[in-house]
Chain A
């Protein structure tokens, strides 16, 4: 796949190079790397080959974080690209700076048609302003699920993958009793354990409706069900139904799962494609992330990245970028992304069409749309729209470091989460001070 894409990319790049003298060029910096980076490059080539007015010049930036860092540096020197692929945690500063061109506005100004109502609300809400205007263009989207080893579940006498934490715990105990070495391969992830967990349970991560309603926000996750959940995970690790599997500990949770060592691990649906490629020697499937019994389940939110149009470019460049974004939103291009990655469709019409065509009935796509079930479980409410916090990257880092300290027995989980909250609040305070008098658009 990679090779094919790379060859195709080279051929197209070579042919495009000769014929592009008159085309309007715009630059696009993206963060995806490896196989997925090749997919991004291929979308550019497909766009360039599909018409002869515009040319997308696509440059990989070696990861989302670096893409944002490099773009900021370039922006300060006024040498930035028109389009930036950025992950959600890195965009609070961009939103408040106002140095972007909201895509709804862009499309209206350039006369390019996009059916905004067609986007799934869980995705639309995440990337839009309080007035419902899209800031950035949703593209590669995912949500977390859990992966389970069907053979190990069958051996333990489990017929159905549980959708409650109580059920999952019972299943892990059974797996362990059936002689398996490892039940859950656990790696702390604030995205799954804190953010998506809170969405699914309709509990707040922070005040001000998770930061949407103002900058004077305080974190609340040390007061919610999240604390009990993390204590449960800690208990599982002590009891041996879960095992810590991180890169630093020697093996990632995904590797432990693919090798058949552990029966369950949590990750983004984007890994669905990767695991297929790794061809595990056992039957496996995915399930939505569990909720606790007695809780009314809510939707999870989208992860991945979206495409931002930056300020300070020419009208021609904006027109070219608008056409590229509209091109990505077509059913054909969404399907191209889906077939070459583990991502999910972003529009209802594409999803319905794919379902009708039997796309999700054949391997390797069977059950991949369980992510859609999780994402659309309920209409997004005030607490399940998403999270909009400044310094999100540091808040995540504080959470991870504190949880790791608790798991290593340095402090209790409650103490760890209290510390993470108070340190996170300092970040939020600094952010509010930096952007005094401003609020999220």
Chain B
């Protein structure tokens, strides 16, 4: 997850004219080549497969037009998968950004031990998703995890294999935990770039910390907030695979069968390459549409300074 350059798009544009130089394409070439090989080419392949029935071992394919899409979109379980993916994305984003902002505000206020916390909070971002899933197994496992203590008080109350809402909660918490670190870094950096003179002036005018947060810091954070919103939503749609795979395996009875996990299960496990390709095109369109909506409607409220 690299901060893409589109965060600057809304900024004041200045016209500039450069002389054409071969240096520019030369310097761009390696990056463009990587993007082409690892993004455009596979995406084009996926689009092609989505309109055919591809035999896994090669040996040809049959053109079927929109059949793969029709099949996917007429499947009630697929819509269940879309629904839980949206719930997951919205919930992890709110939880992760809310926690990250709270923690960043505390660290920015330089409460006791803030240097330790700063490093400590960044760490989880370095943990791979499957490892996060495994770690949360120890927390949420109904038989041996921390949550099993609930079951000693109320036997059978906590059971990931039985209650869909519990399984969804578990992956949301694990997913948010992983994403907090990333948002935290950006929020903290943004908070620290707010000129001290502004906060000090407000303090002199008699604004207490909470008031300064509400009226001064948060409005100045909106560009960061918007950037993180886009990134977090995109990320929770596409990067949730590892957590689901290790924590719930898509169960109980498909309750945590997120779109990206279903693509893996159908395509790689079930050898239905074409069905999975159609699903990934749908997922790509959904993420693009959401990003468009965010730029179109939410970015209006963002003030770049």
Contact = CB atoms under 8 A, between A and B. Distances in A.
A423 B148 CA distance: 35
A426 B270 contact: no
Contacts of A76: 58
Interface in B133-169: 141-145, 148, 159-162
Contacts of B274: 434
Nearest to B254: A401
Contacts, number: 96
Interface residues of B, number: 37
Nearest to B145: A250
A408 B253 contact: yes
A405 B254 CA distance: 9
Contact of A404 (B145, B161, B266): B161
B55 interface: yes
Interface string A398-441: 00011011001010000000000001001100100111100000
Given A397-B270, A401-B253, A410-B253, A249 B57 contact: no
A394 B270 contact: yes
B62 A434 contact: yes
A433 B53 CA distance: 8
Interface string B262-283: 0001101111101100000000
A121 to B, nearest CB: 29
A394 B266 contact: yes
Contact of A426 (B53, B71, B160, B252): B71
Given A251-B143, A251-B144, A405-B253, A75 B159 contact: no
Contacts of A393: 269-271
A248 B160 contact: yes
A408 B58 contact: no
Interface stretch (A90-98, A150-158, A204-212, A377-385): A90-98
B57 A397 contact: no
B62 A436 contact: yes
Q: Which of B56, B144, B160 has the most CB of A within 10 A?
A: B56
Nearest to A419: B77
Nearest to B151: A250
Contacts of B130: none
Contact of A249 (B53, B143, B271): B143
Contacts of A435: 55
Given A250-B159, A397-B265, A93 B57 contact: yes
Contact of A434 (B55, B145, B268): B55
Given A433-B53, A433-B62, A93 B271 contact: yes
Q: Which of B61, B64, B252 has the most CB of A within 10 A?
A: B252
Contacts of B271: 72, 90, 93, 391, 393
Contact of B59 (A98, A410, A436): A98
B249 interface: yes
B251 interface: yes
B233 to A, nearest CB: 28
Nearest to B253: A405
B92 interface: no
B272 A402 contact: no
Given A65-B269, A397-B270, A248 B55 contact: no
Given A72-B57, A99-B59, A410-B253, A249 B272 contact: no
B179 interface: no
A408 B142 CA distance: 16
Interface of A (DSSP majority class): helix
A435 B251 CA distance: 31
B57 A391 contact: no
Given A249-B162, A394-B272, A75 B254 contact: no
Interface in B33-88: 53-59, 61-62, 64, 71, 77
A361 B161 CA distance: 41
B161 A244 contact: yes
Nearest to A245: B143
A248 B161 contact: yes
B59 A404 contact: no
B251 A404 contact: yes
Contacts of B268: 65, 69
B236 interface: no
B142 A250 contact: yes
Q: Which of A75, A250, A394, A426 has the most CB of B within 10 A?
A: A250
A264 B141 CA distance: 23
Given A250-B143, A405-B253, A433-B62, A93 B55 contact: yes
A249 B162 CA distance: 8
Interface string B110-121: 000000000000
A119 B119 CA distance: 63
A124 B83 CA distance: 47
Nearest to A311: B57
A430 B161 contact: no
Interface string A59-84: 00000010001001001100000000
A246 interface: yes
B143 A404 contact: no
Contacts of A246: 161
B248 interface: yes
A98 B274 CA distance: 20
Contact of B58 (A99, A249, A426): A99
Contacts of B71: 426, 430
A402 B55 contact: no
Contacts of B145: 250
A136 B143 CA distance: 41
Nearest to B142: A250
A404 B252 contact: yes
A430 B272 contact: yes
A75 B58 contact: yes
Interface in B235-269: 248-249, 251-254, 265-266, 268-269
Nearest to A310: B57
14 contacts: A69-B269, A72-B271, A93-B55, A97-B55, A97-B56, A97-B57, A246-B161, A248-B251, A249-B143, A250-B145, A391-B272, A394-B272, A423-B77, A430-B71
Given A394-B270, A427-B272, 19 more contacts: A65-B268, A69-B269, A72-B57, A93-B56, A93-B57, A94-B57, A97-B55, A246-B161, A249-B142, A249-B159, A393-B271, A394-B266, A405-B253, A408-B162, A408-B252, A423-B77, A426-B71, A433-B53, A436-B62
Interface of A: 65, 69, 72, 75-76, 90, 93-94, 96-99, 244, 246, 248-251, 391, 393-394, 397, 401-402, 404-405, 408, 410, 423, 426-427, 430, 433-436
Interface of B: 53-59, 61-62, 64, 71, 77, 141-145, 148, 159-162, 248-249, 251-254, 265-266, 268-272, 274-275
The 5 closest A-B pairs by CB, nearest first: A250-B143, A97-B57, A248-B161, A405-B253, A249-B161
